[in-house]
Structure 1
């Protein structure tokens, strides 16, 4: 019998929200897919009066493996907005020896709030057929509800 724990801890991690700043690169290492791209993240400072000042955009490394890598490769292109769930880990560049941090995404996909996408499709709406494509004919019939009619008119009362 397959027994599940009563109150499993939720899967909690870090989230990353930004745009794809470089063309995503899918590679394979020992049969495991790996997706890499540079991501830009916009920053703002909010004033007490409700004003918003744009701060410089920062750029970060994003890496995904296995299913997240394949899914990200199918759904993301340069300049797409995305949302990712994962963790931040230190990384040392083998060529320069410089230590940076990279975001390891285990969930990755387009940001439906900022992208013009159709959920369930692997491509952006702008890459699909033109918006004037023929839609299947739908027959919409609306009949107003019947109103109750009194059997006889009520006399008007004088005041």
Structure 2
């Protein structure tokens, strides 16, 4: 089976998260995010450049989880896609874009935390066992 691949985005939460509700009644999460940029120098070192800032949104369950877990200053990694749209400002139509996060979480390389697994129930354990058996079968079937 082929990999399911989407666009990804990493950076830091630059604004306080905002919560709203869509016309359909779905939860919506909105933040401004920053992306650090660096220039690789001839010497092998890196020079920090000014970050760029962008809009990020999430909807439904992802929005609710993000609102509970993410705060200004957090480093994150998100999976999703870029949504391009037009808005009218002062009679002029301008092109805007936002990253729509379908999945989002803290960046492991830049965040210290502990994982709480007390919520695991028997169905999670059964699923994990099934995945382990499938992985073992694939490994054994590969002739290694």
Range of TM-score over shorter length: 0.7 to 0.9
Tell me, which stretches of 5 or more residues in structure 1 are unaligned? 1-6, 122-159
TM-score by length of 2: 0.72
1:59 aligns with 2:53: yes
Q: CA RMSD in A?
A: 1.7
1:41 Cα deviation from its structure 2 partner: 0.3
Alpha-carbon distance between aligned partners in 2 of 1:67 and 1:84, rounded to the nearest angstrom: 14
TM-score by length of 1: 0.66
| Pairing 1:40-119 to 2, within 5 Å after superposition | 40-95=34-89, 97-119=93-115
1:73 Cα deviation from its structure 2 partner: 0.8
Q: How many residue pairs were aligned?
A: 114
Give the one of 28, 31, 36 matched to 2:30: 36
1:25 aligns with 2:25: no
1:78 Cα deviation from its structure 2 partner: 0.6
Q: Is the 8 A contact 1:86 1:103 kept in 2?
A: yes
Q: Does the C-alpha gap of structure 1 residues 86 and 93 become closer, same or farther in structure 2, counting only changes over 3 Å?
A: same
Tell me which of the two structures has the higher relative contact order, counting C-alpha pairs closer than 8 angstroms and 6 or more residues apart.
Answer: 2
SS in 2 for 1:74: helix
Structure with more of its chain in helix, by fraction: 2
Tell me, which stretches of 5 or more residues in structure 2 are unaligned? 118-144
Q: Is the 8 A contact 1:71 1:109 kept in 2?
A: no
Q: Does the C-alpha gap of structure 1 residues 119 and 91 become closer, same or farther in structure 2, counting only changes over 3 Å?
A: farther
Q: Would you identify which runs of 4 or more consecutive aligned residues in structure 1 move more than 2 Å? A: 91-98
